[in-house]
A = this chain, B = another copy of it.
Amino acid sequence: MPNPSIGVHDTRNIQALHFCRDDAIYFEGDFAPAWFAVSEGVVRTCRYKENGNRQILGFYYPGDVFGLEPTARRETAEAVTDAVVRCPAQEGHGQRDASDVESALRRALGAAYENIAILGRRTAQERVAAFILATAAEVGRSEEFSFPMSRSDMADYLGLTIHTVSRTIGQLCDQQLISLRGARHCRILDIARLKALAGEGH
C-alpha cells in the first residue's frame, strides 16, 4: 500500500488517502484544512509530551470521523493499521455540507464521551474490560475479534503501563472471561460478567 506523503497539508484535490501502519496523517500544530472519515483500517489521535510520554486520545474505525478541530490541529493523527481515509468536505455534492458537518460532530462528540466514560474508571480491570467491550463493538459484530492496536497503544490510551495491560488481560483469561490466541486474537467467553466488571448496565 503506497504512502503518498507524511503529513497532509493540501487536501484540495484529494479524496481518498492511503496510509501505512504508523504513518502520520497530520501533526499537532498543523493548519487544519479539512476533517476526515475513516474508510478502511484504524486511526489514532495522540499528543506527545515533553517528558516523552504519549497520550492517545481516541481510536477511529471505519465510519468514524476525526480531525474536526478548527484552524490548528491539537493532536497528531496516525494510522494504527494500513488505512484509507477520505475528506467528506471535498467530495462535492453541493449543499449537503452543513448537516454533514453537524452529524459528524455529533458522532465525534458521542464517541468522545464514551472515551471519557472508559477513562474515568478507577481500576485497571474496569478500564481494560470496558476497552475490550468497546473494541469488540467497533471491530467485529461477534464475540471474536482481533485487536488492531498494540499493547503499547492500549496502555497509552488507558493511562496504564503495558505491563499492567498485559497482566490484566492475563487475569481476564484466568477468570475465563476471555480467551486469547496469540496476543491480538480475542474471544469473549462471558460477556455478562465482563460487562459487570466494566460497571456497565442501565
Partner of A102, one of B47, B98, B119, B157: B98
A94 within 8 A of B: no
Partner of A120, one of B29, B113, B119: B119
Copies of this chain in the oligomer: 2
- Chain B residues with CB under 8 A of A122: 159-161
Q: Are A109 and B110 in contact (CB-based, < 8 A)?
A: no
Q: Are A49 and B98 in contact (CB-based, < 8 A)?
A: no
- Residues of chain A in range 106-138 having any CB-CB distance to chain B below 8 Å: 106, 108-110, 112-113, 115-117, 119-122
A50's closest neighbor in chain B, by CB? B201
A53 within 8 A of B: yes
- Chain B residues with CB under 8 A of A106: 68-70, 105
Q: A55-63, A143-151, A175-183: which one contacts chain B?
A: A55-63
Q: How far is the CB of A8 from chain B (nearest CB, A)?
A: 20
- Chain B residues with CB under 8 A of A113: 57, 69, 74-75, 112
- Chain B residues with CB under 8 A of A49: 199-201
A155's closest neighbor in chain B, by CB? B122
A142 within 8 A of B: no
5 nearest A-B residue pairs (beta carbon): A112-B112, A105-B105, A119-B119, A50-B201, A49-B199
Interface residues of chain A, those whose CB is within 8 Å of chain B, are 29, 47, 49-51, 53, 55-58, 68-70, 74-75, 98, 101-102, 105-106, 108-110, 112-113, 115-117, 119-122, 156-161, 199-202
**A55-B121, A57-B120, A121-B159 provided; 16 other pairs, C-beta below 8 A?**
A50-B199, A50-B202, A56-B120, A57-B117, A58-B116, A68-B106, A68-B109, A70-B106, A74-B110, A74-B113, A108-B109, A112-B112, A112-B115, A116-B116, A119-B119, A122-B159
